[in-house]
Amino acid sequence: MIKLGPAGNCDKDIISSVKRLKVLGLDAQEVEFTYGVNLSIARAKEAGELAKSLGIELSVHAPYYINLLSEEKKKITASKNRILMSAERAHFLNAAHLVFHAAYYGKLSRQEAYSRVKEEIVDLMAEIKKRKWHVVLAPETTGKASQFGDLDELLKLSKEAGCGLCVDFAHLKARTQGSMGYDEMVQRIKHEKHVHSHFSGIEYTAKGERRHLVTPENDITALLTELVKAKVDITIINESPVTWRDSLKMKKILEALR
């Protein structure tokens, strides 16, 4: 199954957005805590119950201010607190996946960075289990070589730590300078039970991701063709500047492919 939906609200707030998604015929939404966790528990419960009743799959994106490899311990602690605050809201939203950008390598080797991120995520998962929150941590593939999170790292992390992952196809394109095609991306993830993902157009430089763009139709067709062919069970959250409109564009192309 392929589920489609936007990053952020397609209406004035989370409640009206979920209702509108149902009318639009979309299946999912990612609740964005970009600059801070600004949703009350009561509101999260209300939105979660509504989304469940309407068959809308919710996920959460934690704040951008996260670095589990900071040289300052207080920043690591603050990062983990932001993830846990997001996880609490995700639980009450009935959101299965909590997406976040895990870290920057800094001065660490890739091997040391991996070990430390794994340690922090295992610790976070233990705390989430202790609090009886039902949410899967999903570190995201990142768009710059300076950031922890290439596809190899996250597939390995998912297997070894037991967490999930979020595959951002646009980030992978930027991170590999376009050398990794959608066919290779899909082949690498097709054996996952379910894939949570992001997609959009992307502008990038030699250093990687610069900004998200409106999703080109030829890119949509190329990706969806590979996903349909491989029969991947996936949720695709669109992160273009026109998120829900591009989600509808993807829906139209998907229906034509089927």
d(CA 19, CA 26): 10
- Which whole number is the average pLDDT over 155-163? 97
Domains along the sequence of the chain with CATH: 2-257 (3.20.20.150)
pLDDT at 258 over 90: no
Cβ–Cβ < 8 Å for 170, 143: yes
Count CA atoms closer than 13 A to 73's CA, side-chain side. 0
Helices 41-54 & 73-92 angle (0-180, nearest 10): 50
What is the predicted pLDDT for the residue at 121?
Answer: 98
Q: What tens digit of pLDDT does each residue of 18-44 get?
A: 999 999 999 999 999 989 999 999 999
d(CA 17, CA 196): 20
**Which H helix or E strand runs over 221?**
helix 217-230
Tokens 């009561």 map to which residue?
42
Q: What tens digit of pLDDT does each residue of 218-238 get?
A: 999 999 999 999 999 999 999
Residue 216: pLDDT band with limits 50, 70, 90? very high
Average pLDDT across the chain, whole number: 97
**Alpha-carbon distances, residue 103 vs 68, 120, 146 (angstroms):** 5, 11, 9
Task: Extract the tokens encoding 245.
Answer: 């409109």
Cβ–Cβ < 8 Å for 90, 98: yes
d(CA 99, CA 59): 8
